Amino acid sequence: MALQANFKSPSRLGSLGEGASGSPAGSVPGAAGKGPGVDLERRNFLGMVVGGVGAAVAVSTLFPIVKYIIPPSNAVKDVSEKVVGKASDVPPKGFKIFQFNKDKVLVINDNGQLTACSAVCTHLGCLVHWESAAGQVACPCHGAKYKQTGEIISGPQPLPLKAYKVKVDGENLVVSKA
- Name the residue nearer to ligand FES (CB basis): 128 or 166: 128
- Name the residue nearer to ligand FES (CB basis): 42 or 142: 142
| Contact footprint for ligand FES (CB under 6 A) | 121, 123-126, 139, 141-144, 155-157
Do 164 and 175 contact (CB within 8 A), yes or no?
A: yes
The minimum distance between CB 157 and ligand FES, in angstroms, equals 6
Strand-strand pairing, 94-100 and 103-110:
antiparallel
The minimum distance between CB 128 and ligand FES, in angstroms, equals 7
The minimum distance between CB 150 and ligand FES, in angstroms, equals 13
Enter the DSSP assignment of 10: H
The minimum distance between CB 90 and ligand FES, in angstroms, equals 22
Please tell me the distance from the alpha carbon of residue 82 to that of residue 54, in angstroms, as a whole number: 48
- Name the residue nearer to ligand FES (CB basis): 51 or 156: 156
Identity of the residue numbered 48: M
- Name the residue nearer to ligand FES (CB basis): 25 or 159: 159
Identity of the residue numbered 52: G
Please tell me the distance from the alpha carbon of residue 136 to that of residue 118, in angstroms, as a whole number: 14
Enter the DSSP assignment of 169: E
